[in-house]
């Protein structure tokens, strides 16, 4: 099995006629993702990359049965694109766009919850179920089918850690890049619960970073609810207080959100925290008795 996406996922690409949307749509098609439609207002009836184009997501969903959407539209319009996909009935929306205003996401979040729409992102690399479906901008060649789940706030660290896991023969069920914005969709606890309920996921890698308290909440959830082993890594351990490091949400403020606090929380939950990403495959093997 997997979580969120598989070979049966039917994807619509919002912004497929743009530079980035078209480029990554081709990569997803090459991987075997079931891209059934594209959306570009005013260009309905055309075809791009062999994919039919519609003016609205609603039209695309009705015509193709699409149940997921990926968004490659500029930041000022991303929130509207997310809502359009949600109201059209997309069960899962992945927003790749970065620099989406926090105020926009604050308005969008309760509507998505009411509609029952799952959101990944914004400002994220997407997700992949190896050998089945790729949605987003992940480099497909480093992933391998297996039994390890991975959640990460960092795109580049996702790639680095997955590459190490694959080289050590540790394939993945589904890998999810959740992004590093202060207000986002599915987060650690949501995904940890999905992995816990997935019979093919035997262990989970969690890559966090400074800022916020999501990692501390995840540690509590792991301690109280999870039976499967989790290995963690926290980025930004040398970051000075008050300075944002890369992601909008990666900032230590008012003495909270430090790497030290997050690491302490994971240790208290029995979760080993790697000092370097290179330690993660070994920790996973140890947890699984390999």
Q: Distance between CA atoms of 193 and 86, rounded to whole angstroms?
A: 23
Q: Distance between CA atoms of 168 and 149, rounded to whole angstroms?
A: 15
Catalytic residue among 24, 99, 167, 247: 247
24 noted as active-site residue: no
Please identify every residue annotated as catalytic: 247
């Amino acid at each position: 099995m997997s979580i969120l996406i598989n070979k049966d996922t039917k994807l619509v690409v919002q912004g497929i006629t743009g530079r980035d949307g078209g480029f990554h749509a081709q990569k997803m098609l090459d991987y075997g993702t079931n891209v059934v439609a594209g959306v570009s207002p005013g260009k309905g009836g055309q075809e791009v990359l062999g994919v039919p184009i519609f003016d609205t997501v609603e039209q695309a969903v009705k015509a193709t049965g699409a149940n997921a959407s990926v968004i490659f539209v500029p930041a000022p319009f991303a929130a509207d694109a997310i809502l359009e996909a949600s109201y059209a009935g997309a069960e899962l929306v992945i927003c790749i766009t970065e620099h989406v205003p926090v105020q926009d996401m604050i308005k969008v979040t309760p509507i998505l919850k009411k509609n029952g729409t799952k959101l990944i992102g914004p400002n994220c690399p997407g997700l992949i179920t190896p050998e089945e479906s790729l949605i987003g901008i992940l480099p497909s060649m480093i992933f391998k089918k297996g039994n390890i789940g991975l959640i990460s706030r960092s795109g580049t660290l996702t790639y680095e850690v997955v590459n190490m896991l694959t080289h050590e023969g540790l394939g993945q069920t589904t890998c999810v890049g959740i992004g590093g914005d202060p207000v986002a969709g599915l987060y650690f606890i949501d995904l940890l619960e999905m992995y816990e309920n997935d019979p093919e996921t035997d262990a989970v890698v969690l890559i966090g970073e400074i800022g916020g308290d999501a990692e501390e909440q995840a540690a509590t959830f792991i301690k109280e609810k999870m039976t499967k082993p989790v290995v963690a890594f926290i980025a930004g351990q040398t970051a000075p207080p008050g300075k944002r490091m890369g992601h909008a949400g990666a900032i230590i403020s008012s003495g909270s959100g430090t790497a030290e606090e997050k690491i302490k929380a994971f240790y208290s939950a029995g979760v080993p925290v790697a000092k370097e990403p290179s330690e993660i495959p070994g920790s996973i093997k140890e947890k699984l008795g390999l």
